[in-house]
Chains A and B, each alone.
Chain A
Amino acid sequence: MNSSNITKRTDELQSKMPETTSVYRMPYSPPFGNFATITLKYFWPPLLFAAYYYLTSSNQIYSDLLWSVEAPAGRLITFGLFGSYFLLLLCFIKKEFVLRQSGITLPFVYFWNSFGRLNWSWKKLDSVCFSRSSPQLPTADQVVLTFLDTTFNRTVDIHIKLKEIHQLELKKLVYTIVTNAPHAVFEPALDSVALEFPTVSGIKHLNFHSFTSMWDEEFSTRYSPTLFVPLAPEHELQNGAIRISELVACGGSAAVYAAKDIRGNQIIVKEAVIPKNASEALKEKAIEMFKREAMFLSQLDHPNIAKVLDHFVENEHHYEVLEFIDGLDLRRFVKERGPQPEDFVLNWAEQICELVVYLHSQDPPIIHRDLTPDNLVLRVDGQLVLIDFGAANAFVGIATGTMVGKQAYMPPEQLRGKSLPQSDIYSLGGTLYFLLMGRDPIPLEVSQIDDRSKVSFEMNRLLSLCTAFEVSDRYQTAVGLLHEIRKIRSQRRDSIVLMPTDQPSDPPFV
């Protein structure tokens, strides 16, 4: 098969792909110590001025030397003195790496190392080396980016000390290199790199192995092939009332976009497409369902449920406009930060459960059916918000005759097509399991954590009662579950006061 041909063609396509304008500015502390920074920034100019004033005012010879037209050397000194300060200021102003899809811009402090050239294309990047600055050190303490300067036929080494850069930023830098400069050689191989970050509270370890797989997963889950052409950025909907700014996720017959409304507010737009070749009756039914659901949801008013602002049909595609929630969904939150401590999980459990109580108390009761870590967003103010109402999902499911869902969070009766209020309790249990363990529960099984060192007895009991196989064995109402969660929380709160010298459970930090 002509795979070489394919490679060639896709390479061509990629090279035609235009630049994006979005950049990431990576903060960076300049490579001199705090004391030197302060001294240079605040004492250097007054000292300069004082010295200059002293020289020029008191002594005629110096004054002549520095000012007279006949003494170019003097002028050089003057400009050198003050110019050096401006260069120094530039180091403070441009103290960031700018990462683009095409290349990197180095902070000004590397002006000398890089022979005056600060903009480098990723194509010129030759290798990335994690090395030790002195052989006595046990682990690598610097990253060396080697660029090949083809015009002068020389290499440029950029040394970045690990202590000058935050580890999250380093991850991002490495990620950008992996994605944009796949030809760059990592030395040692990225999977085997283990770094130690000295911090105030001790040493933090950083392994790249788990991150590369996480990134891959993130990509494949966010961007999968679709059955329609997703809208391009800058596309306008509703006669310009909505302007698409970027594709957030896509796959199958649905896509999610970040967009701006006419007033410039950030919104989320969901797109769902009925396959062209679906039968007429099916199409009509799907449209009917979609409209009804959107209408219904736009009437819900709860602070922790993302509001449905609008829904419309354009160009035979269905759109749903949702409130934008600034935050991180729980799946990514846990992927980035690892399993969460029980106290956190209980706090969130209470919030989710309150939401479920609210939904079930509607007339008729709303069964969410898709309560998963992906659909719960931890907003910047620390509260959980339910973002996805499965409206699009259910709609797509009807349209294609299939069901879309994450089977790990689905109780057996829901897979059989009969959702009950208790199905949401099962999903809630699965979500709690994910938060505590950092991995999806096993489908169609009771989620339990028998390890007492990780999870208390009460929490484990709660989990197994939420995720019981039979509906009758679960908590029967969300209200009952909420009482149980509150009881456990208050017990734990009391026990904290009672134990003055216990081993405190530290929350895991990034």
Chain B
Amino acid sequence: MTRAEILAKDKKYPVISPSQIANPEDVILRSLMALFFSGLLWIVFSAAVNFQVVPQTIFFGAIVLYAFARHGPNHSFVRAKLQLKAKGLDIKSPTLKTIMPWNWLTKVEIRHRSFDFIPNYVYFEFKNKSDVLILWEDVRDDMDQTTLISCVRTWAPHAEIRGDASIAKAESMATYTELWLKDLSSAKSESRHRKGEVIENGAVLFESYKVEKLLSGGGQGTAYLASVLPHADFADMPPQVVIKEFILPQNERGMQKARESLNKEVTILRRIDHPRIIRLYDFFIEDMRGYLVIEYVDGLTFRQFVEKNGLPTESSVAEMAISLCKTISYLHQLSPSIIHGDVTPDNIIIEKDGGVKLLDFDAAQELTRNKTNTVVGKHSYMSPEQFKGMLSESSDVYALGCTLHFLLTGFDPEPISESFPKKINDTVSDAINEIVSKATRLDQSNRFLNLDAMRAQLEQL
């Protein structure tokens, strides 16, 4: 017994049993029989009309026409109509014109093959021994197998569905979308020039950047430290830059999309010119990979800093927070304003001299994001309205509050809830605890009005 049969036994839905439904011999035999009987009929009639030519011919023509209308090999002149309604099957065919209730249905046979010498059909059998055969040709504008099977499953779960062997195989319903996607996405391996995962040191990218070494840390993809060769397009580029790499899907559409979103992102980022925000210099696409050229900063992210050096003092946290407030409100004051949307300990870098720099290239974020509706983010730092997809300036206030919570306690705050760093770390003062909790209120209207208000509070410390 196959697995399908075992399942069919104890399930309420009978599994589609692939089988040979109409065998060609049957059809041929039936048409031969029809031919024989019509010939017999013709001889009898011809004898009746004394073998006169004209009525004989007319009668013969009528027989042929009727035979084709009824059993024509590919098409029937009488079109059947089938509608599936909640009440039952609304059938209008030459043999049956009623609404058959669903609970009368006992058996459905679906024949569906691409070789259509014998026409494809669907055959219904009912409790009262009546049955009807409808050609797919007649109903194919209205439904496909999937709809039919879904209807039968929903309204007549006990009916047996017998399907062609091919139903369960190649030409299934997945074809519409699947085939062209396959067509467009598959490509041979030769088209990627570089097979290795990592670029060797000394390789030159885009004729402008020489890779020096692989950068570690971050965990968000591959990044290289590179030196800028003299013929790079940018005049004011520093001697060393970071190149972030991501691999593009290997099809035309994907490349086009990636280029579009990169172009869009770069036009936004060009407007940003702030010493406390890391700059994006260039982007390029080479060998089915996208590259972002960004400023190189020698420092640690907040998270790395806390792991390495322990918690910073409260006054230095306040100092950094004030600096961040200024930086982010610079973004908000641009017109049209930019909302960072991803202020987390991983996106803020402490430089060697103690300055705080904000990473801002949403491009990389956007491109390495799994799906449009998927958050590959840090849930802890996302405000409720951001979850709902309504990003606003106060989302950055929320995220900054959460970041302060991390700096004060060393732990990520609990997602979607007001944070109180004092609960975890007793040494936190009431004043800053108050600020963090006010910044992370769930209701936007209860938070700080904007970052300037938050800064004012922080400066009072």
Interface residues of A in 396-421 (CB under 8 A from B): 399-408, 412, 415-417
Any A CB within 8 A of the CB of B121: no
Assess whether B452 is interfacial by the CB under 8 Å rule.
Answer: no
A187 in the interface (beta carbon within 8 A): no
A150 at the interface (CB under 8 A from B): no
B144 close to A402 (CB less than 8 A): no
Q: How far is the CA of A333 from the CA of B221 in the complex (A)?
A: 33
* B286 interface neighbour in A9, A34, A408, A504, Cβ under 8 Å: A9
Q: Is B388 an interface residue (CB 8 A)?
A: yes
Q: Is the CB of A381 within 8 A of B246?
A: no
A61 at interface (Cβ–Cβ under 8 A)? Answer: no
Q: Report how many A-B pairs have Cβ atoms within 8 Å.
A: 319
Interface assignment of B123: CB less than 8 Å from any CB of chain A: no
By the criterion CB–CB under 8 Å, are B377 and A38 in contact?
no
The verdict on B87 contacting chain A, using a C-beta distance below 8 Å, is yes
Contacts A99-B183, A404-B375 supplied; 15 other A-B pairs, CB < 8 Å: A1-B233, A3-B263, A17-B187, A23-B183, A172-B176, A224-B368, A229-B192, A232-B188, A233-B189, A337-B147, A380-B167, A383-B153, A402-B378, A416-B417, A417-B379
Chain A residues positioned under 8 Å from B86 (CB to CB): 341, 343, 496, 504-506
Nearest chain B CB to A245 CB, angstrom units: 8
Q: How many whole Å from B157's CB to the nearest CB in chain A?
A: 8
A18 CB within 8 Å of chain B: yes
Interface residues in chain B, defined as those with a beta carbon under 8 Å from any beta carbon in chain A: 3, 7, 11, 13, 15-16, 68, 72-75, 77, 79, 81, 83-87, 101-102, 114, 138-147, 149-155, 157, 161, 163, 167-169, 172-174, 176-177, 179-192, 195, 197-198, 215-222, 233, 246-259, 263, 266, 282-288, 290, 367-379, 384, 387-389, 414-417
- Docked-complex contact B174 and A327, CB < 8 angstroms: yes
Question: Known interface pairs A226-B246, A252-B368. Does A219 touch B253 (Cβ–Cβ under 8 Å)?
Answer: yes
Q: In the complex, what residues of B have CB within 8 A of residue A175's CB?
A: 180
Q: Is the CB of B247 within 8 A of A228?
A: yes
A-B contact pairs, 21 of them (CB 8 A): A18-B191, A24-B183, A27-B114, A180-B184, A180-B252, A200-B142, A219-B257, A223-B254, A251-B371, A252-B368, A278-B219, A344-B154, A347-B154, A347-B157, A381-B15, A382-B152, A382-B161, A404-B374, A405-B375, A444-B416, A496-B102
Interface residue A218 (Cβ < 8 Å from any Cβ of B) = yes
Docked pose: A332 CA to B181 CA in angstroms = 13
**A229 with B168: in contact, given A328-B174, A382-B13 (CB under 8 Å)?**
no
What residues on A are CB-neighbors of B218 within 8 Å? 277
Q: How far is the CB of B265 from chain A (nearest CB, A)?
A: 12
In the complex, are the beta carbons of B84 and A444 less than 8 A apart?
Answer: no
Nearest Cβ distance between residue A354 and chain B, in whole angstroms? Answer: 10
Q: Given that A38-B75, A228-B197, A347-B153 are contacting pairs, would A380 and B187 also be in contact in the complex, using a CB cutoff of 8 Å?
A: no
A216: min CB distance to chain B, Å:
8
Q: Does A336 contact B (CB under 8 A)?
A: yes
Q: Of B73, B155, B184, B248, which is within 8 A of A343 by CB?
A: B155
**Which residue of A166, A197, A332 contacts B177 across the interface (Cβ within 8 Å)?**
A332
A507 within 8 Å of B (CB atoms): yes
Q: Are A444 and B384 in contact (CB under 8 A)?
A: yes
A178 CB to nearest chain B CB (Å): 9
A507 to B153, CA, bound (A): 13
Whether B172 and A327, one on each chain, are in contact in the complex, defined by CB atoms closer than 8 angstroms, is: yes
The 10 residue pairs across chains A and B that have the minimum distance between CB atoms = A232-B189, A199-B141, A223-B249, A504-B85, A382-B149, A381-B16, A347-B154, A382-B153, A225-B246, A227-B221
Closest chain-B Cβ to A67's Cβ sits at a distance in Å of: 32
- Note all chain A residues with C-beta closer than 8 A to B248: 225
Is the pair A400, B183 in contact by a Cβ cutoff of 8 Å? no
**Distance of A506 Cα from B155 Cα, bound (Å):** 12
* In contact, A219 and B254 (Cβ under 8 angstroms): yes
Tell me whether B168 and A416 are in contact (CB under 8 A): no
B370: chain A residues within 8 A (beta carbon): 224, 251-252, 254, 404
Q: Chain A: residues with CB nearer than 8 A to chain B?
A: 1-3, 5-7, 9-10, 13-14, 16-18, 20, 22-24, 27, 34, 37-38, 42, 99-101, 166, 168, 171-172, 175-176, 179-180, 182, 197, 199-201, 204, 216-230, 232-235, 246-247, 250-252, 254, 275-278, 303, 326-328, 332-333, 336-337, 341, 343-344, 346-347, 378, 380-383, 399-408, 412, 415-417, 440, 442-445, 496-497, 500, 502, 504-507, 509-510
Query: Given that A24-B183, A101-B183 are contacting pairs, would A303 and B11 also be in contact in the complex, using a CB cutoff of 8 Å?
Result: yes
Is the beta-carbon distance between B180 and A444 smaller than 8 angstroms? no
**Given the known A-B contacts A225-B290, A505-B85, are A336 and B176 also in contact in the complex, defined by CB atoms under 8 Å?**
yes
| B260 nearest CB across to chain A (Å) | 10
Which residues on A sit within 8 Å (CB–CB) of B151?
Answer: 344, 507
A165 to chain B, nearest CB (A): 12
When the two chains form their complex, are residues B147 and A510 in contact, meaning their CB atoms are under 8 A apart? yes
CB B330 to nearest CB in A, in angstroms, measures 23
Closest to B3 in A: A303
Given contacts A223-B251, A225-B258, A404-B374, contact A204 B387 (CB under 8 A): no
Chain A at the B interface: SS class: mixed
Q: Once the chains are docked, how many angstroms separate the CA of A85 from the CA of B246?
A: 58
A101 to chain B, nearest CB (A): 6
Interface centre among B86, B152, B172 (most CB of A within 10 A): B86
Nearest opposing residue in chain A for B389, CB measure: A443
Measured between beta carbons, the chain A residues less than 8 angstroms from B377 are 402
CA distance A9 to B290 in the complex (A): 12
Chain A residue numbers with a CB within 8 Å of B378 are 401-402
- Residues in chain B near residue A223, CB distance under 8 A: 185, 249, 251, 253-254
Chain A contacts of B68 at CB under 8 A?
Answer: 38
**Closest Cβ neighbor of A10 among chain B residues:** B285
Q: Is the CB of A234 within 8 A of B185?
A: no
A228→B194 CA distance, assembly (Å): 12
- Tell me how far the C-beta of B92 lies from the nearest C-beta in chain A, rounded to whole angstroms: 10
A175 to B256, CA, bound (A): 16
Q: Taking the nearest CB of chain A, how far is it from the CB of B364, in angstroms?
A: 9
On whether the beta carbons of A328 and B184 are closer than 8 Å, the reply is: no
B181 x A222 contact (CB < 8 A) = yes
How far is the CB of B18 from the nearest CB of chain A, in Å?
10
Across the interface, A220 reaches (CB within 8 A) one of B157, B284, B372, namely B372
**Chain B residues positioned under 8 Å from A199 (CB to CB):** 141-142
Q: Is the CB of A224 within 8 A of B367?
A: yes
Inter-subunit contact A179/B184 (CB<8 Å):
yes
A496, B248: Cα distance in complex, Å: 53
Most buried by B among A7, A416, A500: A416
Q: How far is A201 from B182 in the complex, measured between Cα atoms in Å?
A: 33
> Are the C-beta atoms of A235 and B189 separated by less than 8 Å?
yes
Return chain A residues, CB-CB under 8 Å to B168: 326, 380-381
Q: Tell me which of B186, B233, B253, B368 contacts A2 (CB under 8 A).
A: B233
Question: Do A406 and B177 have beta carbons less than 8 Å apart?
Answer: no
Q: Check if A201 sits within 8 Å of B376, measured CB to CB.
A: no
The distance in angstroms between the C-alpha atoms of A2 and B281, with both chains bound, is 11
The docked-state distance in angstroms from the alpha carbon of A344 to that of B84 is: 12
Q: How far is it, in angstroms, between the C-alpha of A234 and the C-alpha of B186 when the chains are bound?
A: 11
Contact A415 B185 (CB under 8 A): no
User: For residue B178, which residue of chain A has the nearest CB?
Assistant: A328
- Complex: A24 Cα to B176 Cα, angstroms: 10
Q: How far is the CB of A430 from chain B (nearest CB, A)?
A: 12
Is B379 a contact of A166 with CB atoms below 8 Å?
A: no
